[in-house]
């Protein structure tokens, strides 16, 4: 005896699409009439529900009143408390471990550390000197000025003394400007090579929980207002599920029927 399976049929995408779209077109007038009649009522009910939720109704406080009077102040106090605790903990950690972290990084390259310390000390001394020229530089400026005056047959009058003073003043201004520039470069080098204790110890920027974030999100959808679904969509979820259900039910029915016939046939042949 040979075994065979029933033909459960195949699905036709074009036929299903046409049937679904035609059904939607046929029902469009009734749907429009129902929408025109009931949509304003639903919108009004949704807006009234939203207003009652926000503003309150029947002696019940609304969300806006509760938020501004109770929730927001409490959340702000919690956030300030959390921020204060976090900042105090961060500063305490830096105070406790900052110097150790800096010394550890300085010890990684002792030669570079010694060089930067020497440059920093020298630059600091030059900047603190202000307009005071070093003795050797001041003597060089004086001798150069006097030599210039002497080469022109001058050098002993009031004008010569004024020229020497003017040369010293100009040299002092240049000296101070050079020291300031050099000091800024040394400071930038130190900043680039030293470890930021906050970053080294904390490893993150300061942050605080946004306690009140998302509170208004709970109101979304309270009004019941929603966007209109696509009216003419032959591939919507309902029609696809309906076709699948019908196809599977039809296939199961045919297979079950043929199994029953095969069982009865087998029993009859066995009895014979």
Structural domain of 194: 76-202
> Is 21 inside any structural domain?
no
> Is 267 inside any structural domain?
no
> Is 4 inside any structural domain?
no
> Is 173 inside any structural domain?
yes
For residue 44, the model assigns a pLDDT of: 93
CB contact burial 164-179 (16+ within 10 A = b; e otherwise): beebbeebbeebbeeb
- On the question of pLDDT at 114 being above 80, the answer is yes
> Is 131 inside any structural domain?
yes
Kindly indicate the confidence band of residue 61, based on its pLDDT and cuts at 50, 70 and 90: very high
**Better-predicted residue by pLDDT, 34 or 226:** 34
Structural domain count, the chain: 1
Q: How many angstroms separate the first and last alpha carbons of the chain?
A: 14
Q: How far is CA 31 from CA 34, 45, 233, in A?
A: 5, 20, 14
Helix (H) or strand (E) holding 61: strand 60-61
**Better-predicted residue by pLDDT, 202 or 34:** 34
> With contact defined as beta carbons under 8 Å apart, do 234 and 22 qualify?
no
Average pLDDT value over all residues in the chain: 75
φ, ψ dihedrals at 57, nearest 5°: -160, 150
For residue 131, the model assigns a pLDDT of: 79
Kindly indicate the confidence band of residue 230, based on its pLDDT and cuts at 50, 70 and 90: low
By the 10 Å C-beta count (0-12 exposed, 13-18 middle, 19+ buried), 2 is classed as exposed
- On the question of pLDDT at 134 being above 70, the answer is yes
> Is 227 inside any structural domain?
no
Assessment of whether the complete model's pTM goes beyond 0.85: no
> With contact defined as beta carbons under 8 Å apart, do 126 and 179 qualify?
yes
Kindly indicate the confidence band of residue 145, based on its pLDDT and cuts at 50, 70 and 90: low
> Is 122 inside any structural domain?
yes
> Is 160 inside any structural domain?
yes
For residue 5, the model assigns a pLDDT of: 55
For residue 232, the model assigns a pLDDT of: 60
φ, ψ dihedrals at 56, nearest 5°: 95, 160
- On the question of pLDDT at 2 being above 50, the answer is no
**Better-predicted residue by pLDDT, 208 or 68:** 68
């Amino acid at each position: 005896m040979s075994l065979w399976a029933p033909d459960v049929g195949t699905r036709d995408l074009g036929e299903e699409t046409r049937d679904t779209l035609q059904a939607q077109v046929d029902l469009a007038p009734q749907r429009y009439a129902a929408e025109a009649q009931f949509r304003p009522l639903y919108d009004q009910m949704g807006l009234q529900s939203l207003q009652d939720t926000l503003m309150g109704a029947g002696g019940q406080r609304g969300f806006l009143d509760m938020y501004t009077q109770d929730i927001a102040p409490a959340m702000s106090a919690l956030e300030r408390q959390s921020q204060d605790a976090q900042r105090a903990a961060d500063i305490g950690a830096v105070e406790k471990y900052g110097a150790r972290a800096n010394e550890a990084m300085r010890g990684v390259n002792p030669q570079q550390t010694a060089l930067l310390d020497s440059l920093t000390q020298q630059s600091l001394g030059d900047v603190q000197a202000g307009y005071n020229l070093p003795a050797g530089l001041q003597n060089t400026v004086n001798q150069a000025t006097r030599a210039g005056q002497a080469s022109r047959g001058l050098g002993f009058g009031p004008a010569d003394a004024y020229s020497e003073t003017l040369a010293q003043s100009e040299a002092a201004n240049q000296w101070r400007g050079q020291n300031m520039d050099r000091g800024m470069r040394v400071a930038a080098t130190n900043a680039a090579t030293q470890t930021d204790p906050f970053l080294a110890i904390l490893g993150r920027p300061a942050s605080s929980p946004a306690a009140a974030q998302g509170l208004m999100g709970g109101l979304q959808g309270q009004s019941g207002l929603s966007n209109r679904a696509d009216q003419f969509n032959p591939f919507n979820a309902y029609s696809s599920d309906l076709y699948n259900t019908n196809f599977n039910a039809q296939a199961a029915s045919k297979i079950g029927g043929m199994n029953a016939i095969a069982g009865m046939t087998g029993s009859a042949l066995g009895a014979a």
